[in-house]
Every structure is written in structure tokens, then in C-alpha cells.
Chains A and B, each alone.
Chain A
């Protein structure tokens, strides 16, 4: 899952990136509104976190512009503006959630996961056939036996399971699993898919990930 953080305070942006990357998210950072808006318009993010008071273009305006472009990406405000009017103003501008500074990192994480749930998901856990993924603890189970994965393998599997029954192209996988600093050599995906398939097969999961030749990969439950 790839996140964009628009935050002008380097200290906050710094620990958010550290903490979220530990949680297997791909994180991009923009230090002002204009840069943030450019990134939001050119890349496909799973979630955007915006500070209200940022230079050049305000967070509110960035949020409005993103919504104006037709994007439905979950947006969360993370700001020191804490009056009721501010919260209402932020949510009305199109944000999905509003977190006041100072905040607890664990709460932010939990709220990010809430925003990433699909409509059919009652909690954070993801399922594909007998495969069960817990994004909170980064554990993967096949029936009751746990499969140990590296962070990148986990992030790749999580993305594929979240988009099960849909074809995930190589470029989209790159966009959503790796951050902006990764050069778009898609052959690295094939390498990780090979690792992942081997671990799943060893656990008895069979050929869960199917190749769509020349396009990408898909997970089918049937």
C-alpha cells in the first residue's frame, strides 16, 4: 500500500515515514502543497495524509483540488488546527478522516487501516480462499499454519489479495508496493512473485497467484 504524506514539518514527516515503512507501507513525502498536489495527481496512492497549514497551497486547497479531479482516494487531515469548526471544515472539503496533533502513532496506523478496508471488509483481516492475512501483525496463515514472509513479500501479497479477482498490472504493482525512489524496473516483481509462490506452495496453498502473460498477475479464490 502506497501512501502520500504532505507535511512541511520535517520532524513529523520523518517519523511518519519511518513508522509507516516499518508497517510495510510505501511512503512518499511532499513538503509543500504544490509539490504534494503534483504527486497526488501523477501517482496512484492508496491514501493521502495532509497537514492543513503548509506552504504555497494550503492543505484544504490540496484536498479540494484532488476531489475536483474526480479522485476518490482516502484523504486524512493531520493537523494542529483543533477547533470543531476546523474539523467540520476539513471533512466538508472532502477528507475522510481528521486527526488532531499531537496524536498517537498507533491510532494513526489504526485509522489508516480503517480507510484501507473495502466495503465488504468487517475488520482489517484479508482473506483469499484458505489464506488469511493480518496487516496489523503482518502474519499470514494458510488454514492454521503460519507462513513467514519478508516485508516486501508481505506487501506484494497484501496488495494482490486486496485486489483479488482483478488483474494487477506490473506498473500498478510497482506504484502501490514500492515508493517513488524506486526506479521502475518491473522485473523485480517477477523475482518477488517467484519467492512468494515458492513459500505459498511449501505451505500447501497451491498455485494461488496466476500469471496473465504480458500484463501482470491475479489471485483467484476459486
Chain B
């Protein structure tokens, strides 16, 4: 029992697997075929029943005509029935009319002529036409209206009409049953049924094969997409999917994937550039220290010589430590899962604290940092990140300002947001380089031997932290006139 169940389960899972690995082309063909099969079956059925009802209607009319004839011959109507005797003559007449029939077929009814039969209200046969011979027409008791139905006689289908006969008081006294043969019509209906039954599977099969072909053809561009995607590796992102001729969904799919690849390649390129830059920036001070010490130990030297070289190496090592700090900070903040503690903080206090920390450097260059602000409302930010942002911008401003110049920090309400501007009177940034200042390792002054000596990481850290906290950061600058960095805080 258990084994059987397991077996069944296995079979089901195989079936499911087959279903899930079924090609798109087969699935499209299958769905389409199922839907169409349903529709065709419906159409066939409607057609069949329509034809059938038309045929029956015709026979019903024939029955009616026959009934009318019987009534006319008997000089009665269905509403003033008195006794069956009035029909007797008529039926006897019929008997004479069909005497030949009686001779030919004594036992069984001849089925290509009409039949007439009278029954009383209990269903007993009162009289019937002779061509019925020993057969009796089926009677359906209890009917108060004229009904039409199919029945058989001698294995041949006939259409029967059953008409109640009322007396003048409206009480049913008996029934007149009239039947006409339907042999030819039944053959036609049967043929129609056969045509429908046999053509249905043939149509469905052809449809499936055709749909499969067409589906295969129309999804061929997808195969191309797959082939191209398979060729692609991380090192070879330059491949692009060829665009199909028609501007359809597949065209959109291909161009969307291509656009995605463009962005990916761009990102990889930037990542590669960053790694290259980072490794260069780390290797250079390392090479300087290593080389200096290697040359130093090759020969015995004066004490002063050792001291200068070791001092020099320490400066290089400090620079390297600083770079590693910044790289680590950048790496930490690059992660999207970085925890933020966004809260209401006083921008004012943050600015004051940063100025306090940078005061010694500013003093050295005799740079006056002035804060102009009446705006005391708090901003939403992570306090630690906010200070890193302010410190990086302000230390840059001090670095690129000429000695004795001033730096202005303003805080103001701009529409719903608080805006902070940090303006220096420094060397400025050429307009063509302005867009790149937030990129990692970008330096406006390319020469590395300048005394300003940053790494080009400070502003990219600013940008990253600002993005994390939804602070808009922008920069405007005029060469030799100064630079303004603007921070727009999200509205509270």
C-alpha cells in the first residue's frame, strides 16, 4: 500500500517535472489548442442542435398537417370531441386506402407512410390505422397539450404528435396520435454527427501541429536572446542581443536586456576602475616606503640621513593609514544594509562641532570660518554621518582656500526644506570637471605631487552618505572665485 502510494507520488512528480520543463513553444501550442478545441466543440454542438431542431420542426409541421386532415375528414375539432365513433369511418376509410399495405405486410408496420392511432384517456387503443399492423404508437399519459417526440417503430425513427381531445366541457376524452417517418432525416442527422465527431480530432491535431510551428517561429528571437546570454561572461559584457525587425514585445525585451547590460557593463567598468585606482593608491606609498628603506639599508649612513628617511617613511605611512580609513569608510557605507540612526539633530551644533575640530588647520592658514544663520529648526539625519559630511566638505574648503581668505556657512529655510551652503573663496573647480567631483578617486588637480594631497575619496563619501539620508548635495563653482557646496535636507 505504502509502496503503491510512493509509486503514484513518483509518477505525479515526474509528470509535474515534465510539465515544468515543457518548452514554451509546446505550451503555447497546447493552451491554444485546448482553447480552440473547446470553441470548436461548442460550435459543432450548436450547429448540430440547430439543424436537428429545424428538421424536427419540419416534421412537426407534417404531423400538424396530418392532424388537420384527420379532423377535416372526420368533421370535428379537438375542442368538441364527443365520441370516437366519428373517427371510425375515417379510420375505416384509411383502412380501405391502405388495404394493399395490409396485404403486403401483415405482421409489421410499413414505416414510410404516416400512422394514426386513437387512444382513450386511460391510454387504451380505440382505433388505429391498418398500416400499423400489430404495432402500437407509444402513448405518453397525462399530457394536456399537444406534444411532439421521437420514438421508434420496427427500429425506424418516427416523429410523433400527441393531441388531446377535449369535449365541449374542456375535459380530455382521449388522444389522437399521429406519426410520420423520419428515416432520411435521421440518416442526414447521423451523417452530420459522424462528420463532426471524426473531423474534430483531425482539426485539433492539425491545429496543434500548426500552432507549434508558428509558436516556434515567433519565439525564435527568444532563442537568440538565450544564445547571446549564454555567451556572456563577466569578462565579456560587450556582447549585445541583435534587435528583431518588428518593433514588438520581443524587440522591447531585447532592448531592455541590452540597456540592462549597458548599465551592468558600466557598473563593472566603474568597479574595475575603482579597484585599479584603490590598488594604485595603496601600492604607491607602499612602494615609496619599501624602496626608500631598501636604498637606505644598502650602505652605512650618517645618523641624520637615517632620521630624515625614517621621518619621510612615517609621513608616507600616515598617509596610507588615512587612505585605508577612507576606503574602509567608503566600503562600509557602500553596503546597502548600513544601519542608520536618523533622528532630529541640530544642524547648528553639528556645524559648530566640525568647525571646532578643523579649527587648528583653519588657524594655520589664517582662514576665518563664519556661520550666518537664523534658522534653528532641526534636520532629520544620522548625527555621525552628518558630521562626516560636513567635515569632508569643510576640510576641502579649507584645503583649497588661499591663506587669509574666508569661508561662509549659511543655513536657511528654502520652501519646506532646510538648506546649508558652504562657500569658500578658493581656487574653484573648472566647469568641465564639476560633474565628476563626487566620483571616487577623482581629483580636479591631477598632479599627485601637489601639496594638497587628497585621495579624491572625500567627496564620494559625502555623496554616498548624503544619498543614504536623502540629503541632496550639489556644487557650483567659478574658477578662481570659489566653490559653494549645498546640502538640502529632507523636510521633516
Contact = CB atoms under 8 A, between A and B. Distances in A.
Interface of A: 8-12, 14-16, 18-19, 22, 31-32, 53, 55-56, 80-82, 101-106
Given A11-B292, A81-B276, A102 B446 contact: no
Interface in B224-252: none
Main secondary structure of the interface of A (DSSP, over half): loop
Interface in B271-295: 276, 279-280, 283-288, 290-292, 294-295
Most B CB contacts (10 A, CB to CB) among A32, A55, A104 go to A55
A53 to B, nearest CB: 6
Most A CB contacts (10 A, CB to CB) among B287, B292, B316, B449 go to B287
A80 B298 contact: no
30 contacts: A8-B447, A8-B449, A9-B287, A11-B284, A11-B288, A11-B292, A11-B316, A14-B292, A15-B291, A15-B294, A16-B291, A19-B295, A22-B295, A32-B447, A55-B447, A56-B446, A80-B279, A80-B280, A80-B283, A80-B284, A81-B276, A81-B280, A101-B283, A101-B284, A101-B286, A101-B287, A102-B287, A104-B294, A105-B291, A105-B294
Nearest to A83: B276
B299 A12 contact: no
B6 interface: no
A102 B286 contact: yes
A10 B312 CA distance: 11
A102 B294 CA distance: 12
B291 A31 contact: no
A53 B473 CA distance: 31
B448 interface: yes
B279 A15 contact: no
Nearest to B276: A81
Contact of A12 (B276, B287, B298, B446): B287
Given A10-B449, A22-B298, A106-B294, 14 more contacts: A8-B449, A9-B448, A11-B288, A11-B291, A14-B288, A14-B292, A15-B294, A19-B291, A22-B295, A31-B447, A80-B283, A80-B287, A102-B290, A105-B294
Interface of B: 276, 279-280, 283-288, 290-292, 294-295, 298-299, 312, 316, 446-449
Contacts of A18: 295
A10 B287 CA distance: 12
Contacts of A82: 279
Nearest to B291: A15
A10 B449 CA distance: 6
Most B CB contacts (10 A, CB to CB) among A55, A101, A106 go to A101
Contacts of A15: 288, 291-292, 294-295
A55 to B, nearest CB: 5
A47 to B, nearest CB: 17
Nearest to A32: B447
Contacts of A104: 290, 294
Contacts of A22: 295, 298-299
Nearest to A11: B288
A89 B316 CA distance: 30
Given A12-B288, A101-B287, A55 B446 contact: yes
Nearest to A10: B449
Nearest to B443: A55
B275 to A, nearest CB: 10
Contacts of A55: 446-448
Contacts of B294: 15, 19, 104-106
A32 B335 CA distance: 37
Nearest to A79: B280
Contacts of A9: 284, 287-288, 448-449
A105 B298 CA distance: 10
A44 B279 CA distance: 34
Given A32-B447, A53-B280, A102-B286, A12 B291 contact: yes
Nearest to B445: A55
B291 A8 contact: no
B485 to A, nearest CB: 26
Nearest to A16: B291
A103 B287 contact: yes
Nearest to B315: A11
Contacts of B288: 9, 11-12, 14-15
Most A CB contacts (10 A, CB to CB) among B285, B294, B295, B449 go to B295
Contacts of B292: 11, 14-15
A106 B447 CA distance: 28
Nearest to B447: A55
A106 B284 CA distance: 18
